[in-house]
Amino acid sequence: MNFTEYTIPTPGSGPHDAVPDSKGHIWYTGQFSNKVGVLDPSSAQFQEFIVPTSNSGPHGLTIAPGDIPWFTGVSSGKIGKLTPSTGVITEYTVPTPQCSPHTLRFDSSGRLWFTEETGNKVGYFDPSKQSFEEFTIPTPNSTPYGFDIDRQGQVWFAELSGSKIGLANQASGVTAEFSIPTAGGGSRRVAIDQSGKVWFTEYFASKIGVFDPERKTFQEWETPTKDAGAYALVIDGNGLIWFSEYKANNVAYFNPTTGTIRELPLHTSHSNIRFMSLHPDGRIIYAASGSNIIGLISNGEPAQTSQTRLQEKEENQIFSIPEIVLLISTVGVLAALLFLRKRRNQSN
């Protein structure tokens, strides 16, 4: 497992989301610097753009066709569009005041969906009409957070405070909510796999889970490290479920075939990974808001659990414990024989 990390030029920027464009450049939001930036991993060069609204809290980020980044201002209540060729940022105010727009993502029809963390709504913005549509979530104060969109254009979203998985669509708004098995588990991020299953992290319970929309059933798995704070989530090209352990300063992945979780400690302390995505070359991207870093993980080698690390340590020893005992015993016998031979020679 190979880590590559890049420190953002603005100190204390606190990158929240980091998403690649089609060229492999990584766009990110600086929630504390009030900037949107881009990293070219091939040259390690950065470029940053100041958001017009001061203290806007750039938060969620997604890339539209044509490599146009869009982002949310969680503090300003706005959605922004950055035109890379000119550096111009255009902002659109969400109708609900102080709604804290959070995660955002385009559907196949070009509608830009978003969650409202304090507005308790999901909604979408139509760029062609420059119009908004919002839908109230039935559960009060549910804290809608991360989401993903399935092949039918349905929006599956996590309710952090409600500990539910919600479902919405353009025609009917919020159509269903499903309580996760662990009460108060804190469903936070969502990713949909190739079969349509809805994966999610549970921050408070420190679990990952999956919901099968056809069977309406859940499964959950606890992280090996207790109270690790399962947070960011992404599925790689091999179907492995990657997530961050925010409190434990780990990244980890779950193998659905074997049902096992493997953890890997991060190189930089207090990384605080809030978001992960997949680079076009297959590497895992992460935004470390605590250490002010954009990172990449090459997942060619499996991560090691504490058990495999111990096994490797034992395999690297020159002798095993039983071998050492046998060696000491053999040396003792040889020493005794030499002593007796010397005594015999002296007596002769």
Asked if 114 and 72 touch (Cβ cutoff 8 Å), the reply is yes
Classify 2-314 by CATH class: mainly beta
Q: Helix, strand or coil for residue 246? A: coil
pLDDT, position 1: 83
Structure tokens belonging to residue 162: 């409600």
pLDDT, position 332: 54
pTM: predicted TM-score of the whole model, two decimal places:
0.85
Residue 291 has pLDDT above 90, yes or no: yes
Rounded Cα distance between 209 and 230, Å, is: 10
Asked if 71 and 82 touch (Cβ cutoff 8 Å), the reply is yes
The residue behind tokens 């949310």 is: 72
pLDDT, position 306: 32
Neighbours of 32 (CB within 10 A): 18
Strand partners, 104: 114
pLDDT, position 314: 31
The residue behind tokens 């109708």 is: 95
Q: pLDDT band at 81, cuts 50/70/90?
A: very high
Rounded mean pLDDT of the chain? 90
Residue 346 has pLDDT above 60, yes or no: no
- Helix then strand count (H, E) for the chain reads 2, 28
Residue environment code for 166-181, b if the CB has 16+ CB neighbours within 10 A, otherwise e: bbbbbeebbeebbebe
Q: What is the mean pLDDT of residues 87-103?
A: 98
Per DSSP, 67 falls in state T
Residue 106 has pLDDT above 80, yes or no: yes
pLDDT tens readout for residues 303-339: 333 332 222 333 333 334 344 334 444 445 445 444 4
Per DSSP, 111 falls in state -
